[in-house]
């Protein structure tokens, strides 16, 4: 569904957006829709990342620990230097 709205932008913003839309081969409306959607998602994910950080969760360290554990299991199952496929890692 599409909603029609009236928005005001500076002349420079509209000129820049028109050039980018033309370069991408889409209408100005489609380009603005995509830009607004991308900005909304960035805001959402940034807020989520801040909440995770405030909660004291360190997901990067947990992910790295998981990778180390996978490597240990692979080594135990397939032998040192072997990946899950059984082929030598290079």
Angle formed by the axes of helices 28-54 and 11-24, to 10°?
100
Residue 37 within a domain = yes
Q: Are residues 44 and 65 in the same domain?
A: no
Q: Is the pLDDT confidence value at 90 over 70?
A: no
Q: Are residues 15 and 42 in the same domain?
A: yes
Helices (H), 25-56: 28-54
Which pTM was predicted? 0.56
**Pair (51, 21) in one structural domain:** yes
CA atoms 52, 56, 61, 62: torsion sign:
negative
**83 is in which domain, residue-wise?**
58-90
Give the pLDDT confidence score for residue 87 in this predicted structure.
47
Q: CA 19 to CA 31: how far, in whole Å?
A: 10
The reply to whether 52 and 16 lie within a common domain is yes
Are residue 49 and residue 69 in the same domain, yes or no? no
The answer to whether 52 touches 59, Cβ cutoff 8 Å, is: yes
Q: What is the pLDDT of residues 10-59, one digit of tens each?
A: 999 999 999 999 999 999 999 999 999 999 989 998 898 888 778 877 77
Alpha-carbon distance of 8 to 31, in angstroms, equals: 16
Does residue 67 share a domain with residue 46?
no
């Amino acid at each position: 569904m599409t909603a029609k709205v009236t928005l005001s932008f500076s002349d420079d913003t509209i000129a820049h957006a028109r050039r980018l839309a033309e370069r991408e081969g889409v209408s100005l409306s489609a380009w603005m829709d995509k830009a607004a959607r991308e900005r909304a998602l960035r805001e959402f994910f940034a807020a989520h990342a801040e909440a995770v950080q405030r909660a004291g969760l360190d997901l990067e360290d947990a992910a790295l620990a998981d990778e180390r554990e996978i490597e240990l299991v692979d080594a135990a199952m397939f032998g040192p230097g072997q990946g899950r496929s059984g082929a030598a890692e290079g």
